[in-house]
Structure 1
Amino acid sequence: MRRHLLTLVGTPQPRNYLHPASLNQAGEYILQQLQAAGARTAEQPYEVKGQLYRNLIGSFGPEAGPRLIIGAHYDVCGEQPGTDDNGSGVAALLELARLLGQQPSLPYRIDLVAYTLEEPPFFRTPHMGSYVHAQSLHAAGVPVRGMIALEMLGYYDDRKGSQRYPFSPLKLIFGSRGNYVTVAQKFGNGRFGRQFARRYRAAAALPVKRFKAPAWLPGIDFSDHLNYWQFNYSAVLLTDTAFYRNQHYHEPTDTLDRLDMRRLGLSVDAVLAVLLHP
C-alpha cells in the first residue's frame, strides 16, 4: 500500500480535474494494478464540459448474480497530494484486489470501482463518477447486495481531544481519541448496512465505532456512498472520520509521513474477512 501511495502522490501535478494528464496517469496505474491482481477490468468513460473522465472497474467472482460494490475516489481537491484523501482509500482498494485475486473462489461477484470527480466542484452533482456508476447499475437493473465506500482510512491519533464530532455530545459516546475506524450509515439503510457494520466490528483488530444517523447530519453522506442511496441501494462509509480528525484534510500537509500504515492494513484485513464470511 505504501508503494501505491507513493505512485499516486508522485504524479507530475495533483490528480484533479484541472490536471487531466495526472488524473489519467493515476487511472492507468490503478487499472494496471487491478489487472495484475487478476480482475476482469473495464473502463466507464464519461464526458464533462468536453473533457473525458473515467471510472475503473475490477471484477472478481462469478459473472452473474447480485454484486457487491466497493469503491474509492482517486481524484483530489485542489493543489495538494491527497495522501489520506483519498490515496489511502485507493491503496486499500488495490490491496483488496490483490487479496481477492488470491481466493480460489468467491460466492458472489465483487466489483472494485475507482471513481473520479468526487471532489469539488463536482461533489453532489451527476458528474461524480460514483453517480455515473450507480445510475448505470440502476438503469441496467443490476441486483446489488450493497456498497462500501472507502474514504480516508490512514490517519489515527491516540491523544485525548484528537477526535471531533458534528454534534459535541457524541464525544461522550464515542470518546475523544481518534484511534478508531468507523462504519457510518444513515437510518433505514437496510439489511446489508446493519450486517456489514456488525461483522466488520467483530473481525477488526483495531477499534471500530458503528455510527448511524439521519442523512442530514453533516459528514454522514460526505463521500461516494451518497449516490448509491439516491438509487435506493444500501451503502456504508468506512472512514477514519476525515476532517473530524485529520486537520490536514484538503491541505498540502496531507502527506504520507502522517499516515499509520499498520492500522490502514488492519482496516483492509477486516473488510476481506467480511467479504469471505459465509
Structure 2
Amino acid sequence: MKGVMLGLLLAALAGTVRAKNQPALADTVRLRRHLQFLTSTPQPRNYLHPAVLDSVAAYIQRQLRAAGAYAVGPQPYAVRGQTYCNVLGSFGPVDGPRLIIGAHYDVCGDQPGADDNGTGVAALLELARLLGQQSELPYRIDLVAYTLEEPPFFRTPNMGSYVHAASLKGAGVPVRGMVALEMLGYYDDRRGTQHYPVWPLKFIYGSRGNYVTVAQKFGNGRFGRQFARRYRGVAALPVKRFKAPAWLPGIDFSDHLNYWKFGYQAVLLTDTAFYRNRSYHESTDTMARLDMRRLGLAIEALLATVLTGE
C-alpha cells in the first residue's frame, strides 16, 4: 500500500511539473474585455475621430506596460494636419535582430470592427501578457499597434505600418521577420462558408471556414516558410498554409504589405477576412459573431511559435 501511495504521489508531482512547463493559456475573459473596450468607443475608431483613436492608443499603452513590455510608447506622425500614432512595446533582449508582430486598431467607416480588427488588437495584447510571463525570450519581439490601415489611407505612405517599416529601414534595424494579425475571431464549420479569390482553391483548402491561415507571397524567404511550418505544427485548430503571387487579391490586404515594400520578410495570420466573414466592413461586425475559444487557440499557437526560436 505504501508503494502504491508513493507512486501516486510521484505521479501527481510529475503532473504538476509538466503543467508548469506547459505554455500559458490565452485568457478569453481578457480577450472579451479588450474587445468590449474597442467596440464600445463613443464614436467609431476611424480617422475622422482622432480623439477616439488617441484613447485606444492610450489603452494599448497601458496594457503593454502592465504586461511588462519595456520602451512602451507612441510613434506619432502627421497626416492632413492631424497627429496619429502607432503604439510600440518590446519584449526580450534589447540587442539583435527582432521579430515584429503587429495589428491595426482603426476601423473602416462607422462600424464596431469586432473582427476587423478588434480581434487582431486583442490577440496582440493577450500575446503581450503571455510574453511577459516568460522568464526569457530567444530574441527581441516588438509588438506594434498600427493606426490608419483602413481606407482612405490603405496602400499609401500614411499607413501606420508604412511609417513603422520605413523607420526600421531608415535606422538599419535588423529584422527577423514580421507577422500581421488581421481578423482572427470568425469561424464557421458549415460547408460553403469559405470563399477564395480563385474558385478552384476550394478543392485544395476546403469549403468550411473553420481554420486560420498563414498567407504569404512567393519568394518570401526563409522566415515565412519556417513560421508557417512551426505554427501549423503546434496549433490546436486547423491551419492552412497559403502562398501565392503578390498580385492575387487579398494576399497583401493588411499591414504586412509595407514590410514587403522595404524588403522585409512578412506573413499574414488571419481567418481570411472577407473571404469568410460576410460582416467585413459592416455594422454587423460585432462581438456576438466571434469564437473566443478559437481566437484563444490561435494566440496560443502564435506564442508557441515565437518561443521556438531558430
TM-score by length of 1: 0.99
What is the CA–CA distance in structure 1 between the aligned matches of 2:155 and 2:253, rounded to whole Å? 9
CA RMSD of aligned residues (A): 0.5
What is the aligned partner in structure 1 of residue 16 from structure 2?
Answer: none
| Pairwise CA distance, 1:10 | 1.2
What is the CA–CA distance in structure 2 between the aligned matches of 1:103 and 1:51, rounded to whole Å? 38
What is the CA–CA distance in structure 2 between the aligned matches of 1:78 and 1:26, rounded to whole Å? 16
Do residues 45 (structure 1) and 82 (structure 2) align? no
Per the alignment, in what secondary structure is the counterpart of residue 276 of structure 1? helix
Match of 1:268 among 292, 299, 303: 299
After superposition, give the CA deviation of every residue in 1:216-270 in whole Å (9 maximum; x if it has no partner): 0000000000000001100000000000000000000000010000000000000
The structure richer in helix per residue is: 2
What is the aligned partner in structure 2 of residue 257 from structure 1?
Answer: 288
Do residues 67 (structure 1) and 89 (structure 2) align? no
Do residues 55 (structure 1) and 86 (structure 2) align? yes
What is the CA–CA distance in structure 2 between the aligned matches of 1:9 and 1:145, rounded to whole Å? 33
Match of 2:121 among 76, 81, 90: 90
What is the aligned partner in structure 2 of residue 277 from structure 1?
Answer: 308
TM-score by length of 2: 0.89
What is the aligned partner in structure 2 of residue 112 from structure 1?
Answer: 143
Correspondences of 1:118-157 after superposition (within 5 Å): 118-157=149-188
Do residues 99 (structure 1) and 123 (structure 2) align? no
What is the CA–CA distance in structure 1 between the aligned matches of 2:105 and 2:201, rounded to whole Å? 30
What is the CA–CA distance in structure 2 between the aligned matches of 1:230 and 1:18, rounded to whole Å? 27
What is the CA–CA distance in structure 2 between the aligned matches of 1:108 and 1:58, rounded to whole Å? 14
What is the aligned partner in structure 1 of residue 36 from structure 2?
Answer: 6
Correspondences of 1:16-31 after superposition (within 5 Å): 16-31=46-61
What is the aligned partner in structure 2 of residue 197 from structure 1?
Answer: 228
| Pairwise CA distance, 1:60 | 0.2
| Pairwise CA distance, 1:170 | 0.1
Percent of pairs with identical residues: 78
Per the alignment, in what secondary structure is the counterpart of residue 308 of structure 2? coil
What is the CA–CA distance in structure 2 between the aligned matches of 1:18 and 1:161, rounded to whole Å? 37
What is the CA–CA distance in structure 1 between the aligned matches of 2:170 and 2:230, rounded to whole Å? 30
What is the CA–CA distance in structure 2 between the aligned matches of 1:26 and 1:189, rounded to whole Å? 32
Per the alignment, in what secondary structure is the counterpart of residue 222 of structure 1? coil
What is the aligned partner in structure 1 of residue 261 from structure 2?
Answer: 230
Correspondences of 1:153-164 after superposition (within 5 Å): 153-164=184-195
What is the CA–CA distance in structure 2 between the aligned matches of 1:123 and 1:38, rounded to whole Å? 32
What is the CA–CA distance in structure 2 between the aligned matches of 1:184 and 1:72, rounded to whole Å? 15
Per the alignment, in what secondary structure is the counterpart of residue 284 of structure 2? coil
Letter in 2 for 1:230: K
Letter in 2 for 1:37: A
Per the alignment, in what secondary structure is the counterpart of residue 43 of structure 2? coil
Match of 1:171 among 198, 202, 222: 202
What is the CA–CA distance in structure 2 between the aligned matches of 1:43 and 1:251, rounded to whole Å? 29
Runs ≥4 residues deviating over 2 A: none
Q: Which of the two has higher C-alpha Rg?
A: 2
After superposition, give the CA deviation of every residue in 1:28-76 in whole Å (9 maximum; x if it has no partner): 1111000100101021000001000000001000111100000000000
| Pairwise CA distance, 1:107 | 1.4
What is the CA–CA distance in structure 1 between the aligned matches of 2:230 and 2:170, rounded to whole Å? 30
After superposition, give the CA deviation of every residue in 1:150-179 in whole Å (9 maximum; x if it has no partner): 000000000000000000000000000000
After superposition, give the CA deviation of every residue in 1:112-155 in whole Å (9 maximum; x if it has no partner): 00000000000000000000000000000000000000000000
What is the aligned partner in structure 2 of residue 15 from structure 1?
Answer: 45
Per the alignment, in what secondary structure is the counterpart of residue 55 of structure 2? helix
After superposition, give the CA deviation of every residue in 1:197-227 in whole Å (9 maximum; x if it has no partner): 0000000000000000000000000000000
What is the CA–CA distance in structure 1 between the aligned matches of 2:123 and 2:94, rounded to whole Å? 23
